[in-house]
Structure 1
Amino acid sequence: MSPAERDESAMGGLDRAAAILGAFDVTHRELTLAALVARSGLPRSTTHRTAGRMLQLGWLDKPRSRYRIGNRLFEIASLAPIRMELREAVLPFLQDLHHATKITAQLGVLEGGQILVVEKITGHRAMPMLSQVGGIIPAYCSALGRAILAYSEPSVIEAVLGAPLAARTPRTLTSPVAIMRELTAVPERGWAIDREEGVIGVSCVAAPIFGPLGDVVAALSVTGPSQLVRADRIGPAVRMAASAASRTYSTRR
């Protein structure tokens, strides 16, 4: 028995399904069987058998010769509280923010040391370099992440800043001291800033959203070309949108 087969034999059906689902991401939305095998790390026969069952369940779809995430998983995911409650409460304010600024508006939550993009409104100004809904971005160098981290427990901040802080652009802050300086400025200012730290030419302003107990649960932002994202002009609008979203979300809980 090969090492891959030994590892596979110790896995349950859900583990194998999780490995296959984990093979997909925003840059790998459709995969051939060979690509699915390579990215899941499962033997070919196991991948083919498990994927076949997932097709029957609606977890996967297979138009022509490529696998992709099935509609049934989308239906299930839409029932998650983050989608049903947080998104529904914040969406009107995201729409208002986008309408007022004509710049991409985003909603994100902290997942480990990453920001999960929950919602995004782009309008006609396409920003293909930004993460799509369901995508992740580092918390330490994003305005969304900093808006949340500024109000997070010290242990959460320590975990994020204790991990490798890679420079995504020449402007990325990678010093924990410099990042902490940014975090401590957020409460007084009312918003967090990312000045081309994720993508050159793109800046972001974000503000936190709080739950009914006063704990930070998410952040919303506007992101766009640096010449259009002027923090002194956009920051107050982002802060007011986040404050209104916080009140609405808290009363729905």
Structure 2
Amino acid sequence: MSPTARDSRSADDGSAAGALERAAAILDAFDATHRELPLARLVERSGLPRSTVHRTAARMIELGWLDKPGDKYRIGTRLFELAGLVPVRHELREAVLPYLQDLYAAARTTVQLGVLDGVDVLVVEKITGHRPLPMLSLVGGLIPAHCSGLGRAILAWSDAATVDAVVAAGLTRRTPRTITNAEALARELATVHEQGWAYDREEGNAGISCVAAPIFDFTGNVTAALSVTGPSAAVLPDRIGPAVRMAAAAASRAYAARRWAVPRPAPELPSQ
């Protein structure tokens, strides 16, 4: 989906804020299906004047925010380095990754870790092994919360305002099985809350099913979810559900312990 063009007044002024708006508009032009863009497409998708894009992109290349090995622009490695410092990627991923690995070893199909980002789920980590599913979002990609196991596992323990925002954004139909009715979604979330895991049966992608369970932080609030995703014949909720729920519970304890941990002060060295 193309990004919305930003307000031209803020994007074209000469202030530092205007420069940041221009850089943000250019970065927003990239997504999972537009990883490399020639100048013309970058102008089109950013909504900025050609001269502005050319000048701003040149400076972003100098800063390492963009790269241009040939005639196309792409995201630079400096942003990749900085992304590793984001708490949700660093702290959450480090705490949960061992349990994702255990779950992958048991299920032998794709496992994912996601957090709610507005009305979508941001994929923070995934393990695919030798049989990746190309229709699934990559790490850093977004998937709709209402029709994904990850999203429902989070929404089932979220407050009413969060669920209402997802409904207000529109329950878009992705497949013939997608729930597009607010009442039906509410009933489904109640079921998820009761059984401890969410089941998406070909609602996001035809032929693909997902079982997911919530991860809680040290305050007891839902903060993420992990899932097993794969061909529907291989992802059976009665068999996979308990294992996913147990992995999520263990991941919650590990993440809560990490967040509670207080660094010990360095011991004082004896005086000479």
Scaled to the shorter chain, the TM-score interval is over 0.9
Instruction: Report the equivalent of 1:93.
Output: 99
- Residues 8 and 43 of structure 1 are in contact (CA less than 8 Å); yes or no, is this contact kept in structure 2? no
Residues 1:58 and 1:163: Cα distance change in structure 2 (over 3 Å)? same
Which residue, out of 5, 9, 12, partners 2:12?
A: 9
Tell me whether 1:166 sits opposite 2:165 in the alignment.
no
Larger radius of gyration between Structure 1 and Structure 2: 2
SS in 1 for 2:218: coil
Q: How many Å separate the matches in 2 of 1:226 and 1:54? A: 44
Residue 206 (str. 1) matches residue 206 (str. 2): no
Aligned partner of 2:72 in structure 1 is 66
Conserved in 2, the CA contact under 8 Å of 1:5 and 1:43? Answer: no
Q: Which residue of 2 aligns with 1:25?
A: 31
Unaligned runs of 5+ in 2: 1-6, 260-272
Instruction: Describe the shift of the 1:113–1:5 C-alpha distance in structure 2 as closer, same or farther (beyond 3 A).
Output: closer
CA displacement at 1:7 relative to structure 2: 6.2
Deviates more, 1:113-122 or 1:186-195: 186-195
Residue equivalent to 1:228: 234
CA separation of 1:83 and 1:197: change in aligned 2, threshold 3 A: same
Report the Cα distance in structure 2 between the residues aligned to 1:156 and 1:41, rounded to whole angstroms. 30
Rounded to whole Å, the distance in 1 between the matches of 2:117 and 2:8 is 32
Q: Secondary structure at the match of 1:197?
A: coil
Relative to the length of structure 1, the TM-score reads 0.96
Partner of 2:88: 82
CA distance in 1, matches of 2:247, 2:164: 29
TM-score (norm 2): 0.90
1:119 paired residue number: 125
Deviation of 1:163 after TM superposition, in Å, equals: 2.1
CA distances 1:23-75 after superposition (whole Å, capped 9, x unpaired) = 00000000111111010011000000000000000000111111100000011
Aligned partner of residue 186 in structure 1, secondary structure: helix
What is the alpha-carbon distance in structure 2 between the residues aligned to residue 78 and residue 89 of structure 1?
14
Residues paired across the two proteins, number: 250
Moved over 6 A (4+): none
Q: 1:34 pairs with 35, 40, 47, which one? A: 40
CA RMSD of aligned residues (A): 1.2
Q: Spell out, residue by residue over 1:171-226, the C-alpha distance to the aligned partner (whole angstroms, 9 max, x if none).
A: 10101111111100112211001010011100000000000000000000000000
What are the superposed Cα offsets for residues 117-156 of structure 1, whole Å, 9 maximum, x if unpaired?
Answer: 0001000112000000010011011110000000001111
Q: Of the candidates 144, 149, 172, which is equivalent to residue 150 of structure 2? A: 144
Q: Partners of 1:155 and 1:6 in 2: how far apart?
A: 33
CA distance in 2, matches of 1:58, 1:229: 42
Mapped contact 2:11–2:19 kept (Cα < 8 A)? no
The DSSP-based 3-state class of the residue aligned with 1:12 is helix
Structure 1 distance, partners of 2:213, 2:143, is: 16
Question: What CA distance in whole angstroms lies between the structure 2 residues aligned with 1:164 and 1:142?
Answer: 14
* Conservation of the 8 A alpha-carbon contact between 1:26 and 1:135: yes
Contact 1:106-1:121 at 8 Å conserved across structures: yes
Contact 2:212 2:225 in 1 (8 A): yes
Q: Distance in 1 between matches of 2:165 and 2:241?
A: 28
